[in-house]
A and B are shown apart, each in its own frame.
Chain A
Amino acid sequence: MTLDCRQVRGRVLASRRSDDVHLEAHLEACRSCADFAVRMEHVRSGLEAHHAAAEPDPGFAVRLRARLEGGDGATLDTMARWALGMLPAAIAIAAALTWFAAREGALAPTAWDPEPTAGDATLEWILADEAETP
């Protein structure tokens, strides 16, 4: 039985080279398929070695617990307690922001309504247009 290149490459992809005499006979005779088999062996070895040697750090379980507590695992009671604890700080921040905004608003010119200047081309165009209107 003789194998063509397509069949040989299919076998090379499916399993490691073995005692398949028909396969070996083809590889002996076909340089292109022999190179393909070598490249495929590199791929196998490379994928076997493709592995991060990562170990969990001591904080992993702690971070996971925090995610559980903060998301899916958080009970309404826990969230309510947290919200109540944060309430005074939230009120203080809101009051400070309101006071600051009011103070800035009284002192500063409004940024969104600038004083028209003589060099403003748009203004000149509008004024000229109005002047021409009877």
Chain B
Amino acid sequence: MARPSRHPRGDRRGPAAVTKVPARSLLTDPDRPLRQGRYRSPLRDERLAAWLGAGVGVLFGACFLTGLFSHLHQNPVTWLPVPARPAGLYRITQGLHVASGIASLPVLLAKLWVVWPRLLSFPPFRHVSDVVERLGILVLVGGGIFMVFSGVANIALWYPWPFSFRAAHFWMAWVTIGALVSHVGARWTTSRRALGGWGRAGASPPRERPRPALAEADPALGTAAEGVHDGLSRRGFLLTVGAATGALTAVTVGQTVPALSPLALLAPRDPRDRPVNRTAAMAGVQAGDVAAGYVFSVEGRVERPLRLTLDELVDLPSHEARLPIACVEGWSYSAPWSGVRLRDLLVLAGAPEGAEVRVESLEQEGAFRTSFVNRAQAQDRDTLLATHLDGDVLSLDHGFPLRLIGPDRPGVNQTKWVTRLVVE
């Protein structure tokens, strides 16, 4: 039931003039217990909550879908092979994944700020559906905070936890998106009403519709929103959150968008440096490992197993391709690579048509010391075992003497210090 507004629209009284509220409201109005009648905010607004919720939903949805695509790249399945083209697809999807994850930081915090008084709603449960909804919100809040925190910490190379980031981030993504689905369904009707019925046939745009009585729309959010104040308005708050999101994006997205690189002052990488994620020292690969004794081999299901020295490899026909290195952490850059085509080596070794390949590194340990090249990728004209970057011999940190580079692959699958191909 709608409670009458204590402050008619247009009343410009300051905080000191706010009317004392009845003691009963301290229990039933979640804005009251901490405000004690001295301060009122217009931000506990269902419409604002709906807009911010829509923002979180879109950003989390984009993160989830692009994250699944990345997971598929790193954990290939035979029934859904990833495509080899377009060459920059993974660069775009993973850039979007990280950018939307970063962008969700201010939007998620703003959303939690707008709705947090619900935590104090009394009584907390009236129906079984309230219990289900509140449990879902608990999971959503915990999952959302975890996903954003762990993602931001990961790109800053900070791991203040004892578990695998990849596994925890992946499974918690399912938990979080499930809670989001549940929450969207629970708030669908009130959110659509709050947003002015967009999507409904014949509905007017929100600005032209009269705002519903907020207390009627949602008692937990209503009454305080009717007050007048000197702080940010709902629109001002929304615009500010949008500006904060834009600013955060502007100073980070240059790690994958070359035109914005000079602005990327808070990005964890600068693509102009040609960054690497794992140095030779970190991988335990020494210069001595790749010196005179280096041998490259092609084995497995082949008619003519190959064993080649580096000089013999360099003497094979070389091909150049401009391809991106696109890291799972969201940074990327394109560069001209040159080396031997993988498909030429497969022909030389007599591999069967449609062969798939496992690429192995000199690296002795690590989750990415091998990578998988599917049929489409193996046959792509630009999938190379590169010896040169930018016309220069690869540096040890970039994978000297030989690294895999192919279109539409995450950086962790562009195996460095390659020593063996196993045809499967």
- Whether A associates with B in a native complex is no
